[in-house]
Structure 1
């Protein structure tokens, strides 16, 4: 895939994602679902698998193409589906998105990554990949820490010699810790604010 083609594909996916998000928001607004959170939660709970699937898809897309800040969509999962199911749906979507990022970076390399992040950001983090053993440990630690730039690191990991198996297990075992920490902070904060 050429640099121009990958850029066009990313632009198209961004426009489609934003368009679908806007259309869904307008549709839900017209249904009166934004009048209060319990109404929206009730709607999603009675939508069967459609509500969770849409949310998981949004999470996957926001990891691969950072249209929506990850913290906002993670918070939305907890608010809309509750702490347990919000955690589960967040974890599924973010894990799948992270695996896709790793695959895309491995398949299309640096030119693809520079369509997602700036060259300045790339230059800031690429130096960590020079020592594979050290990078693997730093990557595992960063995935567990809630303040690390996970999506960028998943892309950069795709450029290294990290195995699929190691990447998979770091994400599967580490991501839930971060997502659980976010969920706990959100639930505690909401409870403290009386929401």
Structure 2
């Protein structure tokens, strides 16, 4: 079990990240970067490859320290870089973050789950780990379909006996469908609202 001080520190880091994202959004709105697609594309183009790299790193960090819902990042990738490159940057960032989350959980163990996630989520999905092969199948299905808390499941997988090879194969092979579905669905929704 984690100590209250650790939970408070982690929540403070998450809140700080959220506030920084909010401030960036306010800046983007006030400067017109978030209200004009032309200005947004011009801003991203002015950053060159640094913009793509920063976005990819943001997506990776987003898995390890969830600040915003992952779907918003997928939408941002498509809006910033178009459907092709947006998908690539989303995929690379999310897969890198998923591998990092697995590594962190592998090293820190189950107490980390209690620090990062609600008890309700832990109880609900921990039942999946009671049978080794069952967890791998359910994990792969959950990663393939964009319906489960992927960030949590990546951490949970790191606390199981799942091998790095199997985990990596599941992430690399199953993530593209979910990312494409999120990106396409949210893009269509965004266009309908705009």
> Counterpart in 2 of 1:102?
102
- The structural deviation recorded for 1:31 is 3.2
Q: Deviations over 1:40-99 (max 9, x none)?
A: 122112311222222222212221122201112211211221111111111111111111
- The structural deviation recorded for 1:179 is 0.7
- The answer to whether the aligner puts 1:75 opposite 2:75 as a matched pair is yes
- The structural deviation recorded for 1:145 is 0.8
Q: TM-score, normalised by structure 1?
A: 0.86
Distance of aligned partners of 1:189 and 1:136 in 2 relative to their CA distance in 1, 3 Å threshold: same
- The structural deviation recorded for 1:188 is 4.5
Stretches of structure 1 that go unaligned for 5 or more consecutive residues are none
> Counterpart in 2 of 1:172?
172
> Counterpart in 2 of 1:136?
136
> Counterpart in 2 of 1:33?
33
> Counterpart in 2 of 1:121?
121
Distance of aligned partners of 1:20 and 1:194 in 2 relative to their CA distance in 1, 3 Å threshold: closer
Distance 1:100 1:10 in 2: 17
Distance of aligned partners of 1:29 and 1:184 in 2 relative to their CA distance in 1, 3 Å threshold: closer
Distance 1:22 1:114 in 2: 26
After TM superposition, the runs of 4+ consecutive aligned structure 1 residues lying more than 6 A away are: none
Q: Deviations over 1:14-56 (max 9, x none)?
A: 2442343244334434433123122112211231122222222
Conserved 8 A contact 2:64-2:100 = yes
- The structural deviation recorded for 1:4 is 6.2
Q: How many residues align?
A: 193
Distance of aligned partners of 1:21 and 1:187 in 2 relative to their CA distance in 1, 3 Å threshold: closer
Stretches of structure 2 that go unaligned for 5 or more consecutive residues are none
Distance 2:24 2:108 in 1: 32
